[in-house]
Copies of this chain bind each other. A is one copy, B any other.
Amino acid sequence: MESKDEKIKIVRGIPEPTLRRLPVYHQYLRELEQKKVFFISCTAIAADLKLIPIQVRKDIEMTGVVGRPKIGYSVKQIIDGIEEFLGWKKSSEAFLAGAGSLGAAILGYQGFKEYGLDILAAFDNNPAKAGTIIHGRKVYAMEKLPDLIRRMKVKIGIITVPAVSAQKTADIMMDAGISAIWNFAPVKISPFGGVIIQNENLAASLAVLSKKLKVMQAAENIRP
């Protein structure tokens, strides 16, 4: 039990906001690397990304990368450190369920592969879509999903089906042995058997934007 508890502690020990900032650093540092910048201080990173140096330093600290006073960090070391830390070094294979416009967008989104996500194929309930190719990936009938998950030992499922069938699709995936689900349907999915669910909620982001806009416009009306 001890080792399990320890693991849980480690998971809880990484602030999710930090995890969300790491890809931002990663992208930025890759750009720097192309510009032949090999060392950088957290102060400079913070200035460019509009963060504060202390936060950048703490985030980098999480990855285990160390810097040198007066010099800063090795750009390459942070890039590698982030990739290693987030598990991007060994690519994970994924299946995508729901080949509608959102599914197609995700299949077409460049760069997931460099984040360790390799979407092998798509699945759709619409028989007319079966056999087609979207952004280089074949679309199969949904019936084939569980069997292919088992045979290919795929561990990540991406759900881009309509809200009503999201839980059913997730259940199929989890039954077949999926370990993690990235859910773009606007409903929360109930996991079982320790499966990891990451809900992507576009409405939530829109809510933040709407509220800020509303408050801003209210403020303008007070002081035009």
Contacts and interface: CB of A to CB of B under 8 A. Distances in A.
A34 to B, nearest CB: 12
A163 to B, nearest CB: 8
A61 to B, nearest CB: 16
Q: Is the interface of A mostly helix, strand, loop or mixed?
A: helix
B19 A213 contact: no
B206 A115 contact: yes
B10 A111 contact: no
Nearest to A219: B7
Given A111-B186, A188-B50, A116 B210 contact: yes
Of listed A14, A200, A205, residue having the most chain B CB within 10 A:
A205
A35 interface: no
A23 B115 contact: no
Interface stretch (A68-76, A81-89, A168-176): A81-89
A78 to B, nearest CB: 14
Number of copies: 2
A144 interface: no
Contact of A50 (B100, B109, B190): B190
Interface size class of A (residues with CB under 8 A): 35 or more
A151 interface: no
A93 to B, nearest CB: 12
A121 to B, nearest CB: 17
A173 B120 CA distance: 37
B182 A20 contact: no
A179 interface: yes
Of listed A86, A112, A223, residue having the most chain B CB within 10 A:
A86
Given A105-B104, A111-B186, A205 B209 contact: no
Contact of A23 (B10, B201, B212): B201
Given A104-B105, A112-B206, 15 more contacts: A7-B219, A11-B215, A20-B205, A20-B208, A24-B203, A50-B190, A87-B211, A100-B105, A100-B108, A105-B105, A115-B206, A156-B213, A179-B213, A182-B205, A198-B212
